[in-house]
Amino acid sequence: MTAPGHDDDERHPETGERMSRGVRRQSFTTQDGGSYSYDLPGWWTASGAGMHAGGDMAAAFEAGARIDAERKAAGLPTLRELRRARAAARARSGT
């Protein structure tokens, strides 16, 4: 599949909504209460569905590295460490 905008394909493949190129602010909160945001380029619908092409996800990877460095400097677990701890807790509880 080609990215939207190539070969005049500017519709979301599942919803059929028109897509346009842009940057959207992505935010999340960790289970220990940290709140983080970063800008993610991609193809977006008016309702917020997105698709990413080429190097778009580099912004997310760079944000993750920056957030991990900030958390580590503050003596907090990294995002990966939080995910692993959550997975281990779920495995112990059977969910």
Q: pTM for the full model? A: 0.73
Domain ranges of the chain: 6-93
- 37 close to 7: Cβ distance less than 8 angstroms: no
- 28 φψ region: left (φ > 0), alpha (ψ -120 to 50), beta (else): beta
- 55 close to 79: Cβ distance less than 8 angstroms: no
Instruction: For residues 54-59, give the mean pLDDT.
Output: 91
What pLDDT digit, counting tens, does each position of 32-45 carry?
899 999 999 999 99
Residues facing residue 25 across a β-bridge? 39
Rounded distance between C-alpha atoms, residue 53 and residue 43, angstroms: 8
Q: Is the pLDDT of residue 8 over 90?
A: no
